[in-house]
Amino acid sequence: MKKALVCGAGGFIGSHMVKRLKEEGFWVRGVDLKYPEFGDTHADDFVIGDLREQQVCRAIVDRRFDEVYQFAADMGGAGFVFTGEHDADIMHNSGLINLNILDCCHKRNIKRVFYSSSACIYPEYNQLDPDNPNCAEDSAYPASPDSDYGWEKLFSERLYLAYHRNHGMEVRIARYHNIFGPEGSWCDGREKAPAAMCRKVAETADNGEIEMWGDGKQTRSFLYIDECIEGTLRLTRSDWTGPVNIGSDEMVTINQLAETAMEIAGKKLTIKHIPGPLGVRGRNSDNSLIEKQLGWRPSYSLKKGMDITYRWVEEQVKMASSKI
């Protein structure tokens, strides 16, 4: 039986990955500071542990896993990573996790390790025009990410690539672009734009008003979780290291994202634009490289993913209000 280790298995992407690996017949160990929030874990073995601790990492990496997925990070949406208030934690905590886990994998002679980097590594100077952002993989340097979250991701990419060059490890690196879907943060201060919009729309009566950070003209693309998992597995099992974008290239403004949620909910709401943390002006996934190297690209429309996500968030909102 093949064995996989999922770091960050209590989080959004990690818990979905555990489910998928179990469906494929793997024996799975998950590790996280916490259990998944929205349901039982599917892992065969779930360790509550702090990956900043070297001894914890050594104990967890106690065998030669066939595949290791490293999702653990101190992270969140714009309200968490772009305020500047969490920079020291983000860099220290996520940096330590990557340094520890990768070295333990090397010492156990584990070859295949996936690392979840981010579109936040791309230079701010290429993302000033909301209609024409450049996020081709080879545009990462000269580096100028707009957040310390992005700088830590870039450092860790280089760390994984160095272990590949110096120790022959088969590392695989993806740069995720805004992954969303059910069972992700929706109201704890770490939620991203799709879940936040779904929550605001679900909580507001028809003809009411919702607030949005900025003028809503900033652009992004959003990738549904199932496609993120599919792309990640294809990359990990390929013979190609990356780094590669895993994202949708259906670019929309944040106003359009909100309108999609309203359309799904069948509500007409007014948007009140307020100041708030924003990130770059424009961003979109460039999928030329993944298509060339893996012969695959995501295909879900934003509407299809938002439909499923809205229903899930709406249910959470109803459950939360029934508890009050």
Considering only the stretches 12-20, 203-211, 212-220, 313-321, report the one whose residues sit in contact with ligand NAD under the rule CB under 6 A: 12-20
Instruction: Confirm or reject binding of residue 13 to ligand NAD (CB under 6 A).
Output: yes
CB nearer to ligand NAD: pick between 193 and 212: 193
Nearest to 120 by CA among 143, 94, 86, 92: 143
Q: How far apart are CA 220 and CA 119, in angstroms?
A: 11
Q: Which residues are catalytic?
A: 149
Instruction: Confirm or reject binding of residue 140 to ligand NAD (CB under 6 A).
Output: no
Residue with tokens 């939620």: 191
Q: Which of the residues 258 through 297 are near ligand NAD (CB under 6 A)?
A: none
Instruction: Confirm or reject binding of residue 73 to ligand NAD (CB under 6 A).
Output: yes
- Count interface residues toward ligand NAD (CB under 6 A): 25
Instruction: Confirm or reject binding of residue 41 to ligand NAD (CB under 6 A).
Output: no
CB nearer to ligand NAD: pick between 202 and 229: 229
Q: How far apart are CA 295 and CA 275, in angstroms?
A: 42
Q: Which of the residues 100 through 129 are near ligand NAD (CB under 6 A)?
A: 116, 118
Beta strand pairing status for 67-70 and 112-118? parallel
Q: Which amino acid is at 168?
A: G
Helix or strand or coil: residue 180? strand
Contact 37, 60 (CB under 8 A): no
Instruction: Confirm or reject binding of residue 310 to ligand NAD (CB under 6 A).
Output: no
Instruction: Confirm or reject binding of residue 93 to ligand NAD (CB under 6 A).
Output: yes
Helix or strand or coil: residue 139? helix
Gyration radius of the chain's alpha carbons: 19
Considering only the stretches 18-26, 32-40, 203-211, 298-306, report the one whose residues sit in contact with ligand NAD under the rule CB under 6 A: 32-40
Nearest to 114 by CA among 257, 228, 214, 279: 228
Q: What is the largest CA-CA distance in the chain?
A: 60
Instruction: Confirm or reject binding of residue 323 to ligand NAD (CB under 6 A).
Output: no
Q: Which of 11, 181, 231, 243 binds ligand NAD (CB under 6 A)?
A: 11
Q: Which of 46, 82, 114, 176 binds ligand NAD (CB under 6 A)?
A: 176
Q: Which of 18, 21, 57, 75 binds ligand NAD (CB under 6 A)?
A: 75
Contact 240, 293 (CB under 8 A): yes
Burial of 110 (0-12, 13-18, 19+ CB in 10 A): buried
Instruction: Confirm or reject binding of residue 28 to ligand NAD (CB under 6 A).
Output: no
Q: Which of 3, 22, 33, 87 binds ligand NAD (CB under 6 A)?
A: 33
CB nearer to ligand NAD: pick between 12 and 310: 12
b/e burial code for range 90-105 (CB count within 10 A of at least 16 → b) = bbebbbbbbbbbbbbb
- Nearest distance, CB of residue 270 and ligand NAD, angstroms: 28
Instruction: Confirm or reject binding of residue 52 to ligand NAD (CB under 6 A).
Output: yes
CA 121 to the chain's CA centroid: 13
Q: Which amino acid is at 22?
A: K
| Spatial CB neighbours of 54, under 8 Å, sequence gap ≥ 6 | 100, 104
Instruction: Confirm or reject binding of residue 46 to ligand NAD (CB under 6 A).
Output: no
CB nearer to ligand NAD: pick between 92 and 268: 92
Instruction: Confirm or reject binding of residue 157 to ligand NAD (CB under 6 A).
Output: no
Q: Give residues in contact with ligand NAD (CB under 6 A).
A: 8, 10-14, 32-34, 50-52, 71-75, 93, 97, 116, 118, 176, 178-179, 192
